[in-house]
Chains A and B, each alone.
With several copies, the nearest count.
Chain A
Amino acid sequence: MSAATNDAAITPEIVAEHGLSPDEYDKALTLLGRAPNLVELGIISVMWSEHCSYKSSRRWLKTLPTEAPWVICGPGENAGVVDIGDGLAAIFKMESHNHPSYIEPYQGAATGVGGILRDVFTMGARPVANLNALRFGSPEHPKTRHLVRGVVAGIGGYGNCVGVPTVGGECTFDPGYDGNILVNAMTVGVAPADRIFYAKASGVGSPIVYVGSKTGRDGIHGATMASASFDEDSEEKRPTVQVGDPFTEKLLIEACLELMATDCIVGIQDMGAAGLTSSSVEMADKGAAGVMLDMDQVPVREEGMTPYEIMLSESQERMLMVLRPGREAEARAIFEKWELDFAVIGEVTDSRHLTLRSGGKIVCDLPVEMLATGLQYDRPWETPAAPAPLPASVPALSVKDDLLKLLSSPDLASKRWVWEQYDHMVMADTVQRPGGDAAVVRVHGTERGLAMTTDCTPRYCAADPVTGGRQAVAEAWRNLTASGARPLAVTDCLNFGNPQRAPVMGQFVLCIQGMGEACRVLDFPVVSGNVSLYNETDFASIPPTPQIGGLGLIDDIGRMAQPAIRAEGETLILIGDGEGHLGASLYLRMATGADAGMPPPVDLEKERRNGDFVRGLIAEGVTTTCHDVSDGGLLVAAAEMAMAGGIGIALEGPEDAGWLFGEDQGRYLLAVPEDAVETVLKAARSAHVAAAAVGSTGGSALTLNGANAICVDELRAANERWFPAYMSGPVESGGDD
């Protein structure tokens, strides 16, 4: 961009193209005391966007509990940090890449994985596991198959290449996501607890260094690209899609970790969504400093890139760091060994301004505070409409058929097709593979295990956001508990529709309220997260989806539990109780074709009692077989345990849809040896926990009261059938591979 272009007057049209409202622009004029130039406008608009400023959500996020004795660093940094003993810390975070994945599923999902990995290793952690929570539209929607295929291939393509195992996640389908799929990626890493790196620029005169890939014109916003002046000779409309380069990311991980073993680094920050802009502003802000960058020093991929483009580019696989003065050569040698770009592009100043130089001229001079503080709104909200009432009658129960139908329905079908495309074993520490409750990854070189899970039940959140928010947290906590882990903390990814609609804002506010309640009672603080709003098409918003990522710790992986039945002749014990709640259940959806009714209530005190009791049994070695009861209820849970272990179960109880398929919360199924049953039941009584023997293990079939036998092989066939069959259908729209 020539200086002349940058000095061009800012018209209301240009302001609007940058997504700033007239009020917001007025606020910028006031704070600045003058009109911004084009580069400055671009930077302000990015920093004041919902994505960077959390302007609609911040007020509510602050209400979440974020502290516990084991929390080393809560929200506000690139990722959350918790103590896991032995002088180590786990660093983790979840992030959305929803819109890019809808536009270009392979690259969108791949770069989502790349982005979340960087948030974790930028803090000094070696990434040890990835998870991903996927929400697709109806399987019948013409785009769904193409999206599933591309997203799954993209997540695998990136994670497999960087060599971080993808060990868990979710994948469900609902017409509410037809026009807005959700791709939420989570990374967990491990670092020495005393060597955590923060995004802080300090030490006036310290060099600011750019490492990684070169900057291209990726992802520069469509609106801003519309201004012809930026790219007069562009012969084709430039794509705004970013392409991931996992090979470079792998090198970047190794190079950064190698440099982090020295004491060269003052602060380090990945270049995320808003690239060089947000990384430099955040570092300056956290260090209460200023930053001067020379655009001419930034490694670029294309000729003639303007400061505007350089600052707004979303090219992947780049990091920004502040080094101790005089240590540049040492750092450079490491990056050159890994064949990555390394450039000193500026220095820390005391101006508290973001100052940019290009061709010897100052092209931007903005106060950091104005950019970092951003805007904050208190958007009006209202309680969304209540769900449809439960239908007066449900088709008669047919236990066998209903179970087989549920097991082969999209949401409950085995996700093997998905996770077999992910290398879930690289690093050789995966001790609980995908397909169970929580995945467990051994902390390398120790006998400890990190348990991890992602959870959310959007149909509950849609029916009643407070209960849905509680349930998402409780289910994550329960999944960790079922593996024997002590739940430590939560990362979240709050996916909602348009916050400028009061009922959508209401969903957001109420889900957070429910989450906060659950996090408090369960001692399960939120240490990192991300918000994705405006997931809406043609005025239809997605179901509220506060995705929870949970992390827990197992002190001795020799005492870990998993869902597979491992022995014949054991007794199946149900922990927890309920009245057979069918509202908002998958059974109801299957039987009537629609969602109706309130979700099952979440009694948090009971949840905690039951979970603590189960964890105690696992820790004492009383059982190693445990599965939580969730989607599909008791019968589905029992079937999953039988399928996982290849051993049958004889279940006994009322032949009643509520008992069999109700989704009452706070429940677990355990298999315990005969001689431990009395002890367990007695201990449960004294702990005020409901517990009852509901069956026994053995044989090759699942039976109910001695009848309704279904072979485990038939269960498996039903459960494994849907996904591969669905995916073998025709796919349109190019770009396989």
Chain B
Amino acid sequence: MMKAKVHITLKTGVLDPQGKAISHALDSLGFDGIEDVRQGKYIEIRLAETDAETARSKVEAMCSRLLANPVIENYSIELE
């Protein structure tokens, strides 16, 4: 059994309305010094798999076929 931690983030330059709104809200709560906020997704997948190489290539495929939107998002994978 392995656990994959997938981070999906917006590519540089892509507008992030959520991040913008969060940053704005933090500002108005009185937090200062906030330079930038970006929001992404974090997905944990538990896999019945023991081989790290196989697991990684499976999760790679999941990301490119389903989890991430290649037009505007990047993804990264960590295995445990």
Complex contact flag A–B (Cβ < 8 Å): yes
**Neighbour of A733 across the interface among B17, B22, B66, B72, CB < 8 A:** B66
Q: A216-B13, A236-B12, A239-B13 are in contact. Are A735 and B28 (CB under 8 A)?
A: no
User: Across the interface, do A239 and B63 meet the contact criterion of CB distance under 8 Å?
Assistant: no
**Neighbour of B20 across the interface among A235, A245, A731, A732, CB < 8 A:** A245
0/1 interface trace, chain B 5-39, chain A, CB 8 Å (1 if under)? 00000011111111011101100110000000000
Of B16, B28, B72, most buried by chain A (CB within 10 Å of CB) is B72
Q: Is A675 interfacial (CB-CB < 8 Å)? A: no
User: Across the interface, do A736 and B21 meet the contact criterion of CB distance under 8 Å?
Assistant: yes
A737 CB contacts on chain B under 8 angstroms: 18, 41
For window 709-737 of A, CB contacts with B under 8 Å fall at 729-737
Q: Is B69 interfacial (CB-CB < 8 Å)? A: yes
User: Across the interface, do B24 and A339 meet the contact criterion of CB distance under 8 Å?
Assistant: yes
User: What are 23 residue pairs bridging A and B, where the CB atoms are less than 8 Å apart in the complex?
Assistant: A103-B71, A216-B13, A218-B14, A239-B71, A241-B71, A241-B72, A243-B14, A243-B15, A243-B72, A244-B17, A245-B17, A245-B20, A247-B17, A247-B21, A729-B28, A731-B66, A732-B65, A732-B66, A733-B69, A734-B65, A734-B68, A735-B73, A736-B25
Of B64, B66, B71, most buried by chain A (CB within 10 Å of CB) is B71
**Neighbour of A243 across the interface among B17, B24, B66, CB < 8 A:** B17
Extra pairs beyond A243-B16, A245-B20, A736-B21 (10, CB < 8 Å): A103-B71, A213-B15, A216-B15, A239-B11, A239-B72, A243-B72, A245-B15, A301-B15, A734-B69, A736-B22
User: Across the interface, do B72 and A104 meet the contact criterion of CB distance under 8 Å?
Assistant: yes
User: Across the interface, do A104 and B14 meet the contact criterion of CB distance under 8 Å?
Assistant: no
A218 CB contacts on chain B under 8 angstroms: 13-15
0/1 interface trace, chain B 53-78, chain A, CB 8 Å (1 if under)? 00000000001111111111110000
A216 CB contacts on chain B under 8 angstroms: 13, 15
**Neighbour of A734 across the interface among B11, B17, B20, B70, CB < 8 A:** B70
Q: How far is the CA of A104 from the CA of B69 in the complex (A)?
A: 8
Which residue of A has the minimal Cβ distance to B74?
A236
User: Across the interface, do A302 and B13 meet the contact criterion of CB distance under 8 Å?
Assistant: yes
Q: How far is the CB of B17 from chain A (nearest CB, A)?
A: 4
User: Across the interface, do B15 and A242 meet the contact criterion of CB distance under 8 Å?
Assistant: yes
Q: How large is the interface on A (under 10, 10 to 19, 20 to 34, 35 or more residues)?
A: 20 to 34
Q: How far is the CB of A286 from chain B (nearest CB, A)?
A: 30
Query: Which 6 pairs of residues, A with B, have the shortest CB-CB distance?
Result: A735-B69, A245-B17, A730-B28, A243-B15, A734-B69, A734-B68
B68 CB contacts on chain A under 8 angstroms: 734-735
Q: How far is the CA of A301 from the CA of B25 in the complex (A)?
A: 18
Q: Residues on A close to B: CB < 8 A?
A: 103-104, 107, 213, 216-218, 235-236, 238-239, 241-245, 247-248, 301-302, 315-316, 339, 729-737
Q: How far is the CA of A247 from the CA of B22 in the complex (A)?
A: 13
Which residue of A has the minimal Cβ distance to B29?
A730
Q: How large is the interface on B (under 10, 10 to 19, 20 to 34, 35 or more residues)?
A: 20 to 34
Which residue of B has the minimal Cβ distance to A106?
B69
Q: How far is the CB of B5 from chain A (nearest CB, A)?
A: 17
Q: How far is the CA of A239 from the CA of B74 in the complex (A)?
A: 11
B66 CB contacts on chain A under 8 angstroms: 731-734
User: Across the interface, do B72 and A735 meet the contact criterion of CB distance under 8 Å?
Assistant: yes
Q: A730-B25, A736-B21 are in contact. Are A238 and B13 (CB under 8 A)?
A: yes
Q: A245-B20, A247-B21 are in contact. Are A734 and B73 (CB under 8 A)?
A: yes
Q: How far is the CA of A734 from the CA of B16 in the complex (A)?
A: 17
Q: How far is the CA of A601 from the CA of B48 in the complex (A)?
A: 63
A244 CB contacts on chain B under 8 angstroms: 17
Q: How far is the CA of A244 from the CA of B13 in the complex (A)?
A: 13
Which residue of A has the minimal Cβ distance to B17?
A245
Q: How far is the CB of A638 from chain B (nearest CB, A)?
A: 38
Which residue of A has the minimal Cβ distance to B66?
A734
User: Across the interface, do B24 and A248 meet the contact criterion of CB distance under 8 Å?
Assistant: no
B69 CB contacts on chain A under 8 angstroms: 104, 733-735
User: Across the interface, do B12 and A735 meet the contact criterion of CB distance under 8 Å?
Assistant: no
User: Across the interface, do A733 and B65 meet the contact criterion of CB distance under 8 Å?
Assistant: yes
Q: How far is the CB of B67 from chain A (nearest CB, A)?
A: 5
Q: How far is the CB of B42 from chain A (nearest CB, A)?
A: 13
A236 CB contacts on chain B under 8 angstroms: 11-12, 74
A734 CB contacts on chain B under 8 angstroms: 63-70, 73
B67 CB contacts on chain A under 8 angstroms: 734
A736 CB contacts on chain B under 8 angstroms: 21-22, 25
Q: How far is the CA of A553 from the CA of B68 in the complex (A)?
A: 46
User: Across the interface, do A239 and B14 meet the contact criterion of CB distance under 8 Å?
Assistant: yes
A235 CB contacts on chain B under 8 angstroms: 12
Q: How far is the CA of A452 from the CA of B38 in the complex (A)?
A: 40
Q: How far is the CA of A241 from the CA of B63 in the complex (A)?
A: 20
Q: How far is the CA of A736 from the CA of B17 in the complex (A)?
A: 13
Q: How far is the CA of A245 from the CA of B64 in the complex (A)?
A: 25
Q: How far is the CA of A89 from the CA of B69 in the complex (A)?
A: 42
Which residue of B has the minimal Cβ distance to A244?
B17
A339 CB contacts on chain B under 8 angstroms: 24
Of A239, A243, A315, A729, most buried by chain B (CB within 10 Å of CB) is A239
Q: How far is the CB of B31 from chain A (nearest CB, A)?
A: 11
Q: How far is the CA of A735 from the CA of B72 in the complex (A)?
A: 9
Q: How far is the CA of A315 from the CA of B16 in the complex (A)?
A: 12
Q: How far is the CB of B28 from chain A (nearest CB, A)?
A: 4
User: Across the interface, do A104 and B17 meet the contact criterion of CB distance under 8 Å?
Assistant: no
**Neighbour of B14 across the interface among A241, A316, A731, CB < 8 A:** A241
Q: How far is the CA of A316 from the CA of B17 in the complex (A)?
A: 11
Q: How far is the CB of A232 from chain B (nearest CB, A)?
A: 15
Q: How far is the CA of A235 from the CA of B29 in the complex (A)?
A: 32
B24 CB contacts on chain A under 8 angstroms: 339
A316 CB contacts on chain B under 8 angstroms: 15
B17 CB contacts on chain A under 8 angstroms: 243-245, 247-248
Q: How far is the CB of A275 from chain B (nearest CB, A)?
A: 14
Q: How far is the CB of B20 from chain A (nearest CB, A)?
A: 7
B11 CB contacts on chain A under 8 angstroms: 236, 238-239
Which residue of A has the minimal Cβ distance to B20?
A245
A247 CB contacts on chain B under 8 angstroms: 17, 21
